[in-house]
Structure 1
Amino acid sequence: MTFQESLSTSRALTHEEQRASPRFALLLRAAKLIGREGEYLCIVRDVSETGVKLRLFHPLATERRLALESAAGDRLGVEKVWEQGGEAGFRFDLPIDVQRFIAEAGPYPKRPIRIGVEQVARVTIMGETSVVRLRDLSRQGAGIETDRHLAIGQYLRIEAEDMPEFEATVCWRKHPAYGLVFRQLMSLEELAVRAFHMQPGRLR
């Protein structure tokens, strides 16, 4: 075999080996898990075509079949394979496009992760307090429903049993639904733990 033939064979083998090897990416990216009992904030640690490793902020208990949703709203079916020490491994229902996953392609523009919650909260405006329904929570704000008519840009304070008082401003409205932006920023861990205790299945 000549040197050129040997080099060509080596290149061919390398190409075949590359095609056979799994694509793998290391990430540190917020996402959320959606299950029958609620929604849970998580961090994507690494991903391959067939599975993903997540950092969790609390145990998932009996939840095994869930959906993993990105910041752009792309949703993938997953099954929990293992859970230990604040991390868990999940198998995708179908092999995924890793590059699409990394790019966070989805039906919506990329936005902060919002966790769906279900809890009564209290809103105070100019000393007058009323009860509202807290519908979702992010690091930067919340979605609420109330019979009270609020104005865009209106300043208020909001608190709930599992959430301390936050100063907030109304940023959008579609009565009876309103969006609030907080003047303080929650950490990922704080959001994860607070939202976990607000899940419908955990209402007291």
Structure 2
Amino acid sequence: MGNALHVDETQPSARLASPTDIEQRDAPRYTLLIRAAKLVCEAGEYLCVIRDVSESGISVRTFHRLPEAQGMVVELQNGDRHELEAIWQEEDRAGFRFAQPVDTARIIASPSRFAKRPIRLNLHSQAQVRTLDGRCVDVEIVDLSQQGAKITCPCRFALDERVKISAPGLPETNAKVRWRKDGGCGLIFEDTYQYGDLARIAARLQRPD
């Protein structure tokens, strides 16, 4: 997933803006071709792709409708967080205003001392793990990403044990036990989920009954 960036075609110049340009123009608007992030509110955590950013706000693709929420925070892959105010929403897109002034150059560069990791969603969803010998164990998913999940469970699975995990909203998925500690296990999926597919799965897992 790349982080390519170009100036929006509505600007008079098609070249990439420098930090100096950003300081000299009033609220310049940029198009982020693909910038993964997550939206956090009291209803849960949701994957999105930031498409446009300016000093005043952002527009994002969400892959599904967002729940009604009093406040929203966008968290970038480097851990930076910004409070948002909802402005508009369509089926799979939404626009937000920044609640506080932001450094657009930092959002664009997204600097980090560490290698960017896949975005992980913190959630609480009941699920079931089935082993190859036919055991079925009720578990709770507490962390979900494209590559795997963290679960809490009442029993201990063997390291490298192959299992299948499923939940309402999550199709049965082949996985392997990567680690275990203090009543929790880390599962790595045999097949990585596409970003948009995981976004829709996470929305279903966090949907109120």
TMscore range, shorter length: 0.7 to 0.9
Which has more helix, going by share of residues? 1
Task: Quote the residue 1:104 is aligned against.
Answer: 110
Match runs of 1:132-143 below 5 Å: 132-143=139-150
Write the distance in 2 (CA, Å) between the matches of 1:151 and 1:180: 11
Write the distance in 2 (CA, Å) between the matches of 1:85 and 1:129: 37
Look up the equivalent residue of 1:67 and give its one-letter code. Answer: V
Aligned to 2:136, what secondary structure does the other structure show?
strand
Task: Quote the residue 2:100 is aligned against.
Answer: 94
Give the 3 Å change call, closer, same or farther, for CA 137–16 of structure 1 in structure 2.
Answer: closer
Q: Which moved more, 1:56-65 or 1:189-198?
A: 56-65
Aligned to 2:102, what secondary structure does the other structure show?
coil
Task: Quote the residue 1:118 is aligned against.
Answer: 124
Query: Is 1:172 equivalent to 2:179 in the alignment?
Result: yes
Please provide the CA RMSD for this pair. 2.3
Query: Is 1:81 equivalent to 2:87 in the alignment?
Result: yes
Write the distance in 2 (CA, Å) between the matches of 1:91 and 1:153: 45
Unaligned runs of 5+ in 1: 1-14
List, as ranges, runs of 4+ consecutive aligned residues in structure 1 with deviation greater than 4 Å.
15-18, 106-109
Deviations along 1:97-150, one digit per CA (max 9) or x if unpaired, are: 122212323586421112223221111223211111111221111111012113
Give the 3 Å change call, closer, same or farther, for CA 124–16 of structure 1 in structure 2.
Answer: closer
Give the 3 Å change call, closer, same or farther, for CA 136–16 of structure 1 in structure 2.
Answer: closer
Write the distance in 1 (CA, Å) between the matches of 2:28 and 2:175: 43
Q: Which moved more, 1:51-60 or 1:83-92?
A: 83-92
Q: Which of 1 and 2 has higher RCO (CA within 8 Å, sep 6+)?
A: 1
Q: Is the 8 A contact 2:22 2:28 kept in 1?
A: no
Q: CA deviation at 1:181?
A: 1.0
Deviations along 1:156-189, one digit per CA (max 9) or x if unpaired, are: 1111121111111122332212221101121222
Write the distance in 2 (CA, Å) between the matches of 1:66 and 1:84: 16
Query: Is 1:131 equivalent to 2:135 in the alignment?
Result: no
Whose radius of gyration is greater, 1 or 2?
A: 1
Give the 3 Å change call, closer, same or farther, for CA 25–107 of structure 1 in structure 2.
Answer: same
1:41 to 42, 47, 67: 47
Residues paired across the two proteins, number: 188
Unaligned runs of 5+ in 2: 1-19
Match runs of 1:47-86 below 5 Å: 47-86=53-92
Look up the equivalent residue of 1:90 and give its one-letter code. Answer: F
Q: Is the 8 A contact 1:81 1:90 kept in 2?
A: yes
What TM-score, normalized to structure 2? 0.80
